[in-house]
A and B are shown apart, each in its own frame.
Chain A
Amino acid sequence: MMKPAYVIGVDVGGTFTDVFILDEANGTVTTAKVPSTRGDQSKGFVEGIARNVADFGLISTVVHGTTVGTNALLERNGARTGIITTQGFRDVLEMRRRDRPTTWGLKGSFTPVVERPDRVEVEERVLSDGSVLQAVKEEDVKAQARALADAGCEAVCVFFINGYANNDNEKTAVEAVRSVWPNAYVTAATEILPEIREFERLSTATLNAYLQPVVSSYLDRLETGLAEKGFSGDILIVQSNGGVMSIDTAKRYPVRTALSGPAAGVIAATQIARAAGFDNIISCDMGGTSFDVSLVADGTAALAAQTAIDFGMVVRTPMIEITTIGAGGGSIASVDKSGLLQVGPESAGSDPGPVSYGLGNDRPTVTDANVVLGRINPDRPIGGKLARLVIEDARRAIEIHIADPLGLSIEDAAEAILKLANAKMAGAIRLVSIEKGHDPAKFAAMPFGGGGALHTGALIKEVGLGSALVPRFPGVTSALGCVVADMRHDRVQTINHLLDQIDAAELGREMEGVADDTEKLLAGTGVAFAAVDRIYEFDMLYLGQTHTVSVPVTIARSGLTREAIRSAFEAAYKEAYGRLLEGIPMRVMNYRIAVIGRRPQLDMAVFAPTAGKPEQDCRIGRRSIFCDGTWHEAVVYERLELEVGAEISGPALLEQSDTTIFIDPGLMGRVDAFGNLVIERRNTANG
């Protein structure tokens, strides 16, 4: 055996830290799951690696999907932060875009992460055309910065109105702040997002400042912890956009980690599927309270321009588009006053969790329905926290809350809960596929997380998906995603000119210059890339509209032309809305540049079962399951022992420690060359 050379992916979740260890020299893979260490995630992180790797000196790269930033936002335990802004505008953060949390009912509330006394103003003003109406005075800024630091602020964000058009004042102010600020936690709004729309820019920049002390100190501890063990390689951090960045970049722009964990999962799904020959998938992550779906078309995950972490907590940086609905295993089923069955959004979460957990909840959940119908083995709960599930209590809860009010048998009531939960999940899939113009028949569902694989069969039927692909280790998908993610940096700049007024050649040169600079950032990390790709896009619209269309362009060797921009816009607009609008001028709002360093592909065959057994040797029992109104006998399999090529007809249950797979009657499953289980309709599978 050659001397090992490790690349390690680590995904720290709320309960478990998943470690994925790839030995590049020998092409082997090891996975580990250790409890997450609350308070300081870096301890569990280092411990998880140490269990499997004796010599940290053999690790070349550690790639990390982190929830430290996400949690700090959700739990609001970021640093006390100050804002220095243009006179007259200190309340922009709190006023949002004049919205409310819910359409119906006027009982919403909002507390910004920076309180009003910590939002201070200085005299300065830039107009929308970029001209400076009033220059900022360094002394004013310094005085305000000192006052904020004295008041106890650890971080500060400098944000000026119309800074996207000209950030001279903002730069001057940032330098002034840095000259007196006691630490490195100074964020310039236009450095984070030089894009028009003051609230979105300020919110993103403020959250960056708010996270910086928390995320930076965590990453410092992580570096120290690894170094103490003898590690001297690179640490890379997964960004919300699905690419990785260097640890130094992550310390400067922690807001880019807002969706780091989920993004890693989607990247893994993309790569596993691509290796298995599926370029179009819909990843489905089913947890206790929610069901998250993402669409991957032609091997590329869809990106969203912004997301709200919570009401009014807007982050506008490109991120993997994740659509979340309130339908998880812990979602509570009920019958409303009109006699209509409801599932969610109220959830029992994981504590107290479903009725069958026996931890105090007595209202039936989706998991309870799965238990009652035989889909979940009550003697082998996943995750390993509980010894067994109490099926009798689950039955009683369904009887009282659902079966009796609707006049159904307990089994019919339980199946009704699943049907409605499946319909909601199907709705989320329709939202990301049909509503975006994709044909679901061309997509495969890829479940990960604990519960998803129980529902994929129903989703195939309900939405008309082509198939489902269950990865070999659904529970450690995100850690795998870390190892295979590309390095990616996004840039945006607002232009806001009519197309006819633009010097396209000059603009093209500017964009190439920005891309060159960004590429230098990649080169500086020391990471080896198989290739470097550039993506150029414009956000464009017809004069008079306010919503933009994303317009991909290529910059020809001979340079960018207006004609090239125009025809790219027309193609994109037609694709989005079906018809062009004649005679209306076009406006170029922003340009966007992504520079992607492609990391070497991981050979997914490392997952293939090496000593698999034929289907009949993997049977570990039989269980009665209820489906489509009747009881069926289903064979139960030990999933990980199945050999490549094994075929299993539904109804069947495949068990493994981190998930249960249900193959519905009429469907069949096949183990592919990479250890994935491919589920299809029986006639398709035969034909």
Chain B
Amino acid sequence: MAIDSVTLAILKGRLEQIADEMDATLFRSAFNPIIAEAHDASHGIYDAVTGETLVQGKSGLPIFVGVMAFAVKAVIDKAARQGGVHEGDVWIFNDPYDGGTHLSDFRLVKPVFRDGKVFCYLASVGHWHDVGGNVPGNYNPAATECFQEGMLIPPVKLYDRGEFRQDVVDILSANSRLPMSLYGDLNGQINALELGEKRMSSLLDEYSDATVGECLVELKARAAQMMRARIAELPSGTVSAEDFLDNDGIIDDPLKIALDLTIENDRMVLDFTRSSPACVGPVNISRSTAIAACYVALKHIFGDVPANAGVLEPVEFRIAEDSLLSVKAPKPVGGYTETILRLIDVVFQAVAQIAPKEAMACAYGTINALSLAGHRENGQRWVMFSFFGGGHGAHAGGDGLNHGNAPISTATIPPLEILEAAYPVRFTQWALRPDSGGPGEFRGGLGAVYEIELLEKRADVFLFGERGKFAPAGVVGGRKAAANRFWFEQADGFHEPPMASKIVGIHIDRGQKLRLETPGGGGYGDPFVREPEFVARDVRLGFVSPEAARCEYGVVLTDDGAVDSAETDNLRSIEAAE
């Protein structure tokens, strides 16, 4: 008998609540700010046989929504080769080529047993502060093999039939610069899984295994049905979009991400085969990561599709083997965030051509992983590691958000007062960046300017960023945003890195500064039809300079900032005639 629709709706809510509660448990108890503040973690419930995503928490990092299924499958396969899973087992690993993203993301996978059989898996993933390798914080733009990025742990047992394996933790701790942080995060992830198992068991007791099992099957089928309905509304045919990464950090050549998107009735084909081959530096990604990124893009556009494996059923992926988007070990993958952001950008740009109302222009498109590391006067090591914000793309309903978080995350930025209290740095600026939003009928959101002065004797600086050469694109006639800029101060003044937004291990001394200017979001629609009053307001707020108002928007202002209608009409008609 099919499950009734009311029980289904209720169980959906209950299951999501369990995943959400697991997220919340880890956020609260985690040690490192990347999890606690930036929410770079995720939890969910996965299929007992295939590992497919059944239910995912709402508050975790969106990119993990798709990728965790591959992680659970990796454990299922490994366990099958080693005599199966047992009650009380918990597996741990970070292998990016086998269901991972990059080495910083440690996954814990725990089977939930009912009557001696696996009913489902629970999994927890979190971004640890430091997992060894050449660079503190693990964003190593110079890596050419994963071995330079950190320790690689294949799926191994953290708990064996309920018994905690301290030896495994000892190995992990010995390979981290920040073992205390690792220990705290690991404990938080264990807490989350234990809580999830407890909640899952009481739900199964309440509703029966059979009913919940049916519900999970049905939810997946419904998600697929919904996605098909969404795709069927789009015009059939093929559209294409291309975008580029600045470089791979080793060789200063752009890397192409090309998408040919085809709609065939209720099916969608995402063909990336025209993209660049695998690169030497760390911006490769695995196939599972590429698929997960597309899922994130689609879910941003079609917000009501549920978070389970059914959504991808009507979507076919064409990705060339051993390419930039489907890499094999040991090619480095540490900078995967930059590549998936670009992947999302091309999906946005392609969809804008067939669904302009739903579309958004590209967001700022780089996480700007900045790490400063040094030793205090007492010899104690410090590592400040943070991601920075930028503008969101404009859309048919309005301007983009100023200083938002990346589409792949829901991260908040740590307060600068917390950073100043924890590390020997002083921010001298923390501000919106004028003229950084892409011009359009609707303007892209503004990026930011962050300026940091070192207060200790010396620090090593690492930056892993992008969009230094290829700025975030606009859609539907909107223009691109300002590109990412980074400067570091030396005795002879400020310098920009040769690889634009990537740099490894330069030193700065006490009193010297770093300056990061992040991109805004792309514009939407023709800037020359933007309401002149909106442009005047942007100028009054200092979001747009008077020069840009004239050149980019064709709006002329009087000395007191009002719209000069005659001059504006004149300028706009000349432009239209050309």
A and B form one complex: yes
Chain A interface residues (CB < 8 Å from chain B):
88-92, 94-100, 102-110, 115-117, 125, 127-128, 133, 161-162, 164-165, 196-200, 336-342, 406, 416, 419-420, 423-424, 427, 430-431, 435, 496, 542-547, 576-579, 581, 584
Q: Is the CB of B397 within 8 A of A94?
A: no
Q: Is the CB of A544 within 8 A of B421?
A: no
Q: Is the CB of A423 within 8 A of B10?
A: yes
Question: A95-B389, A419-B6 known; A88 and B17 CB under 8 Å?
Answer: no
Q: What's the least CB distance linking B200 to chain A, in Å?
A: 13
Report which of A98, A105, A127, A198 forms a contact with B426, defined as CB distance below 8 A. Answer: A127
Report which of B223, B412, B421 forms a contact with A196, defined as CB distance below 8 A. Answer: B421
* B253, CB-defined interface residue at 8 Å: no
Q: What's the least CB distance linking B110 to chain A, in Å?
A: 16
Q: Is the CB of A89 within 8 A of B417?
A: no
Q: Is the CB of A546 within 8 A of B397?
A: no
- CB-defined contacts of B356 to chain A, threshold 8 Å: none
Question: A103-B62, A164-B417 known; A546 and B33 CB under 8 Å?
Answer: yes
Q: Is the CB of A406 within 8 A of B5?
A: yes
Taken residue by residue from 481 to 523, chain B's Cβ proximity to chain A (1 for < 8 Å, 0 otherwise) reads as 0000000000000000000000000000000000000000000
* B173, CB-defined interface residue at 8 Å: no
- CB-defined contacts of A581 to chain B, threshold 8 Å: 183-184, 187
A-B complex: 8 closest residue pairs judged by Cβ atoms: A338-B226, A338-B222, A98-B389, A98-B413, A88-B429, A97-B412, A128-B420, A423-B10
Q: Is the CB of B410 within 8 A of A99?
A: yes
Complex Cα distance A196/B300, Å? Answer: 34
Q: What's the least CB distance linking A591 to chain B, in Å?
A: 16
Known: A95-B431, A104-B299. 19 other contacts (CB 8 A): A90-B431, A95-B403, A95-B432, A99-B412, A100-B392, A103-B410, A127-B455, A161-B417, A198-B416, A200-B415, A338-B229, A339-B5, A341-B6, A342-B9, A423-B9, A424-B13, A496-B421, A576-B28, A581-B183
Q: Is the CB of A547 within 8 A of B430?
A: no
- CB-defined contacts of B405 to chain A, threshold 8 Å: 98-100
Report which of A106, A545, A547 forms a contact with B401, defined as CB distance below 8 A. Answer: A106
Question: A423-B9, A430-B17 known; A546 and B412 CB under 8 Å?
Answer: no
* B399, CB-defined interface residue at 8 Å: yes
Please give me the residue from chain B that is nearest to A430 by CB atom.
B17
- CB-defined contacts of B389 to chain A, threshold 8 Å: 95, 98
- CB-defined contacts of A420 to chain B, threshold 8 Å: 6, 9-10
Interface residues of B in 119-137 (CB under 8 A from A): none
Please give me the residue from chain B that is nearest to A90 by CB atom.
B431
- CB-defined contacts of A496 to chain B, threshold 8 Å: 421
Q: What's the least CB distance linking A141 to chain B, in Å?
A: 20
Question: A88-B427, A98-B412, A542-B31 known; A337 and B404 CB under 8 Å?
Answer: no
Please give me the residue from chain A that is nearest to B188 by CB atom.
A577
- CB-defined contacts of A106 to chain B, threshold 8 Å: 300, 360, 363, 392-393, 395, 400-401, 404, 407
* B414, CB-defined interface residue at 8 Å: yes
Please give me the residue from chain B that is nearest to A549 by CB atom.
B28
- CB-defined contacts of B430 to chain A, threshold 8 Å: 88-89, 91-92, 95
* B238, CB-defined interface residue at 8 Å: no
Report which of A423, A545, A576 forms a contact with B13, defined as CB distance below 8 A. Answer: A423
Q: Is the CB of B300 within 8 A of A105?
A: yes
Q: Can you give 24 contacting A-B residue pairs, CB < 8 Å? A: A89-B430, A99-B404, A100-B405, A103-B410, A106-B401, A106-B407, A117-B541, A125-B426, A127-B420, A161-B416, A196-B421, A198-B415, A337-B229, A340-B8, A340-B222, A342-B9, A416-B5, A431-B17, A544-B181, A544-B184, A547-B27, A577-B29, A577-B187, A578-B191
Q: Is the CB of A105 within 8 A of B420?
A: no
Complex Cα distance A543/B448, Å? Answer: 30
Q: Which applies to chain B's interface (DSSP): helix, strand, loop or mixed?
A: mixed
Complex Cα distance A342/B21, Å? Answer: 22
- CB-defined contacts of B432 to chain A, threshold 8 Å: 91, 94-95, 116
Q: Is the CB of A579 within 8 A of B418?
A: no
Complex Cα distance A167/B66, Å? Answer: 48
- CB-defined contacts of A579 to chain B, threshold 8 Å: 187, 191
- CB-defined contacts of A103 to chain B, threshold 8 Å: 58-59, 62, 410
* B77, CB-defined interface residue at 8 Å: no
Q: Is the CB of A94 within 8 A of B407?
A: no
Question: A99-B404, A100-B404, A107-B395 known; A117 and B540 CB under 8 Å?
Answer: yes
Question: A91-B432, A340-B12, A423-B13 known; A98 and B416 CB under 8 Å?
Answer: no
Complex Cα distance A200/B303, Å? Answer: 29
Q: What's the least CB distance linking B310 to chain A, in Å?
A: 9
Q: Is the CB of A96 within 8 A of B6?
A: no
* B318, CB-defined interface residue at 8 Å: no
Please give me the residue from chain A that is nearest to B21 by CB atom.
A435
* B273, CB-defined interface residue at 8 Å: no
* B535, CB-defined interface residue at 8 Å: no
Interface residues of B in 144-159 (CB under 8 A from A): none
Complex Cα distance A109/B229, Å? Answer: 29
Please give me the residue from chain B that is nearest to A416 by CB atom.
B6
Complex Cα distance A576/B188, Å? Answer: 12
Complex Cα distance A95/B27, Å? Answer: 22
Complex Cα distance A496/B448, Å? Answer: 28
Report which of B12, B31, B187, B300 forms a contact with A104, defined as CB distance below 8 A. Answer: B300
- CB-defined contacts of B112 to chain A, threshold 8 Å: none
Q: What's the least CB distance linking B524 to chain A, in Å?
A: 11
Most central of A95, A198, A579 by chain B CB within 10 Å: A95
Q: Is the CB of B180 within 8 A of A584?
A: yes
Q: What's the least CB distance linking A502 to chain B, in Å?
A: 15
- CB-defined contacts of A91 to chain B, threshold 8 Å: 403, 430-432, 448
Q: What's the least CB distance linking A14 to chain B, in Å?
A: 28
- CB-defined contacts of B191 to chain A, threshold 8 Å: 577-579
Question: A577-B191, A581-B183 known; A197 and B418 CB under 8 Å?
Answer: yes
Question: A88-B431, A106-B393 known; A116 and B541 CB under 8 Å?
Answer: yes
Taken residue by residue from 533 to 575, chain B's Cβ proximity to chain A (1 for < 8 Å, 0 otherwise) reads as 0000000111100000000000000000000000000000000
Report which of A104, A125, A336 forms a contact with B62, defined as CB distance below 8 A. Answer: A104
- CB-defined contacts of A423 to chain B, threshold 8 Å: 9-10, 13-14
Q: Is the CB of A88 within 8 A of B451?
A: yes
Complex Cα distance A430/B395, Å? Answer: 37
